[in-house]
């Protein structure tokens, strides 16, 4: 069922790298019987490759206006580099994506302390969140609409979070140039916060083009953001209109057109306000790149999206000899609002046994010739 498609590595080599990298800590015993797999989904000239390590997207390939096919997502040249990775290239992050202030929260007065891996805060589920574990393959189908479903059971106390949590994520090619991501999570025995996110970095010019995303035109269907405190990027709890600020992408604008007015670059949650359909799905954002002619639309059913402009990339060595410097890729991570556990005015991310968390994303690509 696994299809090895990555260059210069085999499953056995990748597995050895992973096991060596995590050996010596208490979690190695939990992973020693797992193996790394690579899975291709393809429909015509549109394809994507995924791995069960972190339920991660390794590549997305599609043609440009001249018919040239490029990989448009950033990623490492081998799976070993994803172990202990802090850029989260293509990963499924959780149990709680984004930040939890102070690495602590309470449920009915009972305190919980989560692993603090971002200064005094918890980021993307802690040091070994869902991007740093093996997922099992629940189902893998080929055909006109190929898909794969990964499953993971998060254990009680993992990175400090309460209770067992069953998680599923399905990646599916839905059309000639579109794919969806559907995430489910179900608390088994205790209430717990849940906020999953897909953390792919996009460069529509091509991941190895050497171009930044500063000339990508972005439209975000949101008229407000959740402002953060300087330094630690923790929301203040307020909702701030984007009008007359550099965060205003209600109309298409180049990422670089106002980025110098934002200290460090964009890394903030937008409050989505587009019209939703009967399933709560709405248009989130549109990204276009003129040289390639590629256009990406993102639709989702979440209240927020984190727009991140790749500010912390520092020459990371990527696929095919590429080097990813600052602004080499951008992320659009649909999500609940960051640090919702401390802000009762934000949409809740707390789920009890018997409740089901659901998160749906749809990516639609097109070519302007």
Catalogue the active-site residues. 199, 333
Residue 189 marked as a ligand binder: no
Residue 201 marked as a ligand binder: yes
Bridge-based pairing of strands 165-175 and 178-187 is antiparallel
Residue 343 marked as a ligand binder: no
Nearest to 326 by CA among 203, 230, 201, 212: 212
Residue 200 marked as a ligand binder: yes
Exposure of 261 in the CB half-sphere (CA atoms within 13 A): 9
Strands laid side by side in the 282-288 sheet:
136-141, 147-154, 165-175, 178-187, 357-367, 294-300, 282-288, 217-220, 253-254
Residue 98 marked as a ligand binder: yes
For the chain, the C-alpha Rg in angstroms (whole number) is 19
Exposure of 164 in the CB half-sphere (CA atoms within 13 A): 6
Tokens of 199: 């953390």
Residue 267 marked as a ligand binder: yes
Mark out the alpha helices in the chain (DSSP H runs): 11-22, 28-31
Q: CA triplet 187, 123, 266: central angle to 5 degrees?
A: 125
DSSP 270-326: EEE-SPP-TTS-EEEEEEE-TTT-EEEEEEESSSEEEEE--TT--SEE-GGG-EE-T
Sequence ranges of the binding site for beta-D-galactose = 98-99, 199-201, 267
Sequence ranges of the binding site = 98-99, 199-201, 267
């Amino acid at each position: 069922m696994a299809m090895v498609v990555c260059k210069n590595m085999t499953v056995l080599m990748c597995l050895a790298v992973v096991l060596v990298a995590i050996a010596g800590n208490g979690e190695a015993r939990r992973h020693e019987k797992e193996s790394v797999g690579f899975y291709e989904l393809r429909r015509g000239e549109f394809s994507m490759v995924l791995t069960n390590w972190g339920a991660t997207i390794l590549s997305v390939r599609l043609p440009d206006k001249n018919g040239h096919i490029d990989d448009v997502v950033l990623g490492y040249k081998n799976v070993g580099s994803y172990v202990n990775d802090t850029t989260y290239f293509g990963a499924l992050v959780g149990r709680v994506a984004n930040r939890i202030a102070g690495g602590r929260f309470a449920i009915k007065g009972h305190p919980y302390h989560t692993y603090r891996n971002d200064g005094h805060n918890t980021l993307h589920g802690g040091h070994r969140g869902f991007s740093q574990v093996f997922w099992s393959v629940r189902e893998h189908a080929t055909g006109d609409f190929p898909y794969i479903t990964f499953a993971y059971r998060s254990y009680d106390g993992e990175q400090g979070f309460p209770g067992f949590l069953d998680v599923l994520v399905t990646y599916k090619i839905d059309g000639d140039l579109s794919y969806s991501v559907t995430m489910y999570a179900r608390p088994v025995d205790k209430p717990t916060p849940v906020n999953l996110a897909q953390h792919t970095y996009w460069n529509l010019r091509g991941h190895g083009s050497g171009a930044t995303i500063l000339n990508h035109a972005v439209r975000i269907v949101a008229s407000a953001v959740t402002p953060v405190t300087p330094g630690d990027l923790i929301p203040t709890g307020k909702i701030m209109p984007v009008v007359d600020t550099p965060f205003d992408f209600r109309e298409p604008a180049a990422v670089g057109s106002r980025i110098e007015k934002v200290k460090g670059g964009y890394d903030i949650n937008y409050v989505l306000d587009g019209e939703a359909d009967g399933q709560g799905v709405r248009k989130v954002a549109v990204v276009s790149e003129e040289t390639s002619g590629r256009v990406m639309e993102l639709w989702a059913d979440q209240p927020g999206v984190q727009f991140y402009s790749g500010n912390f990339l520092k020459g990371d060595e990527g696929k095919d000899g590429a080097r990813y410097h600052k602004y080499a890729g951008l992320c659009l991570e649909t999500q609940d609002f960051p640090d919702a556990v401390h802000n009762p005015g934000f949409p809740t991310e707390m789920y009890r046994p018997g409740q089901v968390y659901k998160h749906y994303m749809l990516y639609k690509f097109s070519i302007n010739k």
